Structure 1
Amino acid sequence: MSSSKEIHLVVFSHGLWGNPGHLQYLVEQFEAKHGDYVQILNAKSNSSKYTYDGINVCGDRLVEEILAEVKSLQDNTSNKVTKFSIIGYSLGGLISRYTIGILYQQGFFKNIEPILFATFATPHLGIRREDSKLLAKLVNWISSTLLSQTGEQLTFVDKYEGNEPILLTMSRPDQIFFKALSEFKYRKIYANSRNDRTVPFWTAAISEIDPFENFDELEIVTNEKFQDIIESISKLENIPKISFNQKLTNTIKGVLRYMLVVIATPILLPLWIILVLSTITFQGIMSRRRVRKILAMKVKNSNNGLSNDFGTVGSTSLEEDAVETAMNIKNFLAPSSPTTQKSLSNSNLFEDASASTPMSEFTTSSQFPCVRVCQAQCEAFSNLNKLKWEKIVVFLDAFNAHAAIVMRNRLQTKGKEIIKHFVEEAFIV
């Protein structure tokens, strides 16, 4: 008789309008390092258009996919899943938080030890900004409208159980989602400091401020082994003065960028609008219909009413970029120095401008103004930081750090060092 084999199941969950291919490089590197010790599930149940359906609907699908994987692994009685880890990228991190809550509710972790919960560039506090500009408010509304239930949830305008936003409910200590998170041995966050206009630092790092909005005013200390990881920051005592030649160069660059926008906008904007109206709007409408059917079937107690057709529909880079732009163009519009509001946390403050502040558990600082967000986001911030998170702050010199952080495609090589760090340093077998 063969001896029983204990299995550590590791689940990877992609982001909005994504598919398993987006995490393929991460999975390959992970498998090369840990493949002898773990079983990997690169989830496919929420591919492409299905990510519009909402965190809860997507989470229910992922639960079914995980349970099916566990059953398949344990059909051979010599196998037993004893450990569990889950890694989410972008929206996949929020879907993962919902998923573990449902698994917790079902008793999944009574016999399976939760080890690592990790996210890459995940909007834990949503994407809503309370900026006063009319255009920013308009884009908030467009984001919540075009992207169906997912868009509403990311902008905190949805009504989940108890008529409050789902992301607020998922942050509450008395809810299954928080309780499930607290069960994990390790909780780790990778957050871009710059060049991520889709998921800015403050929401990815569960922070009430964004010290990197004025990057040139900071002294940065990076990791000795992984130079793309920021260990600590401090405000420069004497900000270097810009020379006349540098000012002239910056002015010329600014004029050239402005001219490029003026020339390109009449050509590109109509094409982008057509793409949004034809693809995103259509998929949003179909998603709302799909969600209504799912919820109606749940009321009838019909095994959750979730289709087994997980769909492996791919998407072009143009469609992915259009979705991200539609959802997050407001982050281009946010003022560089948001209006200060009262701090909600006294942790990790540094009063001395010259003092170095570690990034590993960073939440706030009196040296920087708070990002203007809604009250529900403020509550979610306070709730989530009651848990201990290890925060890995990333600086990628890439145009689209959101895609590069997981090397979403092979052309985005800037993220290799971050993936190497996760594979070698962050994951615990």
Structure 2
Amino acid sequence: MVDYHLVILVHGIWGNSSHLAYIEKQLNEHIKPTDGSKLLVHKTGSHSGYLTYDGIDVNGKRICDEIREEVQMVQNEGNRVTKFSIVGYSLGGLISRYAIGILYSQGFFKEVEPINFVTFCTPHIGVSNPQTHNLSVRIYNKTAPFFLLTTGSQFFLRDHVGTHKKPLIAWMADPNSQFYAALKSFKYRSLYANVVNDKRCSWFTASITPGDPLNSMYNKSPKNIICEYIKGYEPNVIDYTKPLHYEKKDGDEPASKPRFSGFWKTLNWLRIIGNVIVHTPFWALSFVITSIVEKIKSMSRLRKFNSQLSNRLSHLHEYHEDTSLLTDFSNKLEDDQDNLVEDVYGAMNWKVEHSAKFPKIKLDANQSFAVEKLNTLGWKKYPVILRHTPATHAGAIVRHADPNFDEGKVVVRHFINEVFKLE
């Protein structure tokens, strides 16, 4: 009989299993148990593409089923899974938190020891832009959830679950939930968060912090980050135990302060629209239509999903007394999506970006609750700076073959050498 350490890799929104191929390869090549056990790495595939729109909860159940299938396959060969780790990227980190909550409620961790829980660029407290005084930001916060369907509603904390009517992300951070208990049961909890150019998942949410002293939502220049690096992984993995802050460097301001700011802001929006039309016509023309079509498909999938008794998840949303590889074209399309998100954020915050003073972020009550409760669990946090690509969300895990993602290899090397544990 062989004992296995099962490692589950969970991709993010719009993604597929190939996004985590580089991490899978590094785990298989460099993690070698010395106690006679074996490593079994599995990239999830049951929530690929637009299936990610169906919700954190539904996809969490799909991942849970995949995990159960992997365990069963091992058992069918006369072996057993004795240890368990899970790595979530972007939305995959939230899906992972839901999946382990289901497993915990089923008693899975009474038989299998939970070792590593790791996330890369995961919006642990949602993705809504907390600068609500800005009209364009308020519009963004209200309209963006529509395009991501059920998951969008959960991302922006617009949903409500259980009789307590909390947003799912807030409930998953509640000490009375199975999800919190599941996270607490892991021996090691670690996260990686970009400090620049990751507007899809800014520092404050990826690192579970109440503020943004690094101005990660606005600052695009790594030279404005004052920090020290972890030896051997410089200048990409920051030592979070040392002083870390934002400081605007000389020469970062425009040569002269723009006049007629309204005109220039309008011009900036026109530039973005022009880029969409010229550079990403397929994505731009199909995005709204696709969202409508996918909403219809998602509603049909969810009706079928909820009709099965084994998929009922409502009991996980209540208080419990006893609760302690893509083609080059598709890669380019995904990069264009990331770049458009960056441009839209830039247009919304154009005035801020051309100001010497950055406003403080203000979390809502549910986000503040999630930050407070999740931080009681004790995370190892690793800020990351990537300089060679503006697509830092993809670069941090080397999402596909791109020479500009070379610094992401340093981040993954740190994960392999310093973070992932066998015991």
Instruction: State the TM-score bracket (shorter-chain normalisation).
Output: 0.7 to 0.9
Superposed structure 1 runs of 4+ greater than 6 Å apart: 255-261, 312-315, 325-330, 335-338
Aligned to 1:352: none
Name the TM-score, length of structure 2 as normaliser.
0.81
Q: Distance in 1 between matches of 2:181 and 2:2?
A: 29
CA distance in 2, matches of 1:250, 1:27: 48
In 2 relative to 1, CA 27–180 (structure 1 residues): closer, same or farther, beyond 3 Å? same
Structure 1 equivalent of residue 27 of structure 2: 30
Q: How does 1:323-334 map to 2 (within 5 A)?
A: 324=338, 331-332=345-346, 333-334=348-349
Task: Give the distance between the partners of 1:173 and 1:336, measured in 2 at CA.
Answer: 40
Counterpart residue type for residue 73 of structure 1: V
Paired position in structure 2 for 1:403: 394
| Alpha carbons 2:9, 2:88 under 8 Å: kept | yes
CA distance in 2, matches of 1:129, 1:230: 25
Q: 1:381 aligns with which of 360, 371, 378?
A: 371
CA deviation map 1:323-377 (0-9, x unaligned): 6578777744358979xxxxxxxxxxxxxxxxxxxxxxxxxxxxx9752222111
Could you say if the C-alpha distance between residues 378 and 124 of structure 1 is closer, same or farther in structure 2, counting changes exceeding 3 Å?
A: same
Shift in alpha-carbon separation, 1:27–1:134, aligned structure 2, 3 A: same
In structure 2, runs of 5+ residues without a counterpart are: 314-324
Cα distance, 1:236 vs. partner? 8.1
- Partner in structure 2 of residue 13 of structure 1: 10
Alignment partners' CA distance in 1, 2:69 and 2:246 = 54
Answer yes or no: is the 8 Å Cα contact 1:142–1:326 preserved in 2: no
Percent identity of paired positions between Structure 1 and Structure 2: 33
Q: What code does the residue aligned with 1:110 have?
A: K
Structure 1 position 264, deviation (Å) = 6.1
- Confirm whether residue 393 of structure 1 aligns to residue 373 of structure 2: no
Letter in 2 for 1:402: H
AA paired with 1:268? Answer: V
| Deviation of the 1:233 alpha carbon | 3.0
Question: What residue in structure 2 maps to residue 114 of structure 1?
Answer: 114
Which residue number corresponds to residue 318 of structure 2? none
Among 172, 175, 184, the alignment partner of 1:173 is 175
Report what 1:233 is aligned to: 243
Q: Deviations over 1:83-118 (max 9, x none)?
A: 000000000000000000000000000011000000
| CA distance in structure 1 between the aligned counterparts of 2:395 and 2:213, rounded to whole angstroms | 21
Q: Is the 8 A contact 1:197 1:328 kept in 2?
A: yes
Equivalent residue of 2:243, what SS? strand
Larger RCO, structures 1/2 (Cα 8 Å, 6+ apart): 1
Q: Would you say how many aligned residue pairs link Structure 1 and Structure 2?
A: 382
Amino acid across the alignment from 1:304 = N
CA RMSD of aligned residues (A): 3.3
Q: Distance in 2 between matches of 1:118 and 1:85?
A: 8
Deviations 1:264-304 (A, max 9, x none): 63362483541211323322332133223322x04xx2x32
The answer to whether structure 1 residue 289 and structure 2 residue 300 are counterparts is yes
Alignment CA distance shift 1:277-1:113 (3 Å): same
Shift in Å at residue 50 of structure 1? Answer: 0.7
Structure-1 residue corresponding to 2:46: 45
The alignment partner of 1:84 has SS state of: strand
TM-score (norm 1): 0.80
Q: Is the 8 A contact 1:93 1:120 kept in 2?
A: yes
